[in-house]
Structure formats: structure tokens, C-alpha cells
Amino acid sequence: MKVGDLVKAPWLLDHGDSAAPVGIVVEFIEEDPDGLNPEGPGMVRVLWINGNGQRHRHVFPHLLEVVSEAPV
């Protein structure tokens, strides 16, 4: 997984429907953004695109599934 990849997170419960929206990986973060787990495995910042607009969300990488890899 790298910046620019299209991803989905079918295991997250807050998407609201069975068809998880597609998002774009925009950044890798070494620390948990709220500071609760500063030495954790890191997180991925994703720009989610769905029918309700766009939003950024920090997600653990193991919850993401790559749909399409970004061109090099």
C-alpha cells in the first residue's frame, strides 16, 4: 500500500451501508493522531469519497483493502 492507492474498508462499521465507499491514501502517519497509542503500528490517512461528500479519516492499515494501485 502506498500514497495514491484506491482503498476500501469493508470492516469499518461507520460507513452506514454494505457497499463501502472508495478512498484514496493521502498520507502515512507513524503515530496515532489522537495520541492514545503513540508507539503503535502507525495509521493511514484516507480521503473517503461517498454520496455524502468527502472526509478524511485515520485508519489502521490492516483494516484497508487495496482496490487499485496508483501508477508509479
Q: For residue 55, what are the domain limits?
A: 6-68
- How many residues are listed for the chain in this entry? 72
Mean pLDDT score, 5-19: 70
Q: Is residue 1 part of a domain?
A: no
Q: Is residue 32 part of a domain?
A: yes
Q: Is residue 34 part of a domain?
A: yes
Residue 32 scores a pLDDT above 90: no
Q: Is residue 10 part of a domain?
A: yes
Start-to-end CA distance of the chain, whole Å, equals 12
> Which of the four pLDDT bands, split at 50, 70 and 90, describes residue 13?
low
What CA–CA distance (Å, rounded) separates 68 from 19?
16
Instruction: Give the global pTM.
Output: 0.69
Domain count, the chain: 1
Q: Is residue 56 part of a domain?
A: yes
Q: Is residue 23 part of a domain?
A: yes
The highest-confidence range among 27-31, 34-38, 39-43, by mean pLDDT, is 27-31
CA torsion angle 30 33 34 38 (round to 10): 10
Residue 5: predicted pLDDT:
94
Mean pLDDT score, 64-71: 90
Q: Is residue 63 part of a domain?
A: yes
Residue 40's identity, in one-letter code, is G
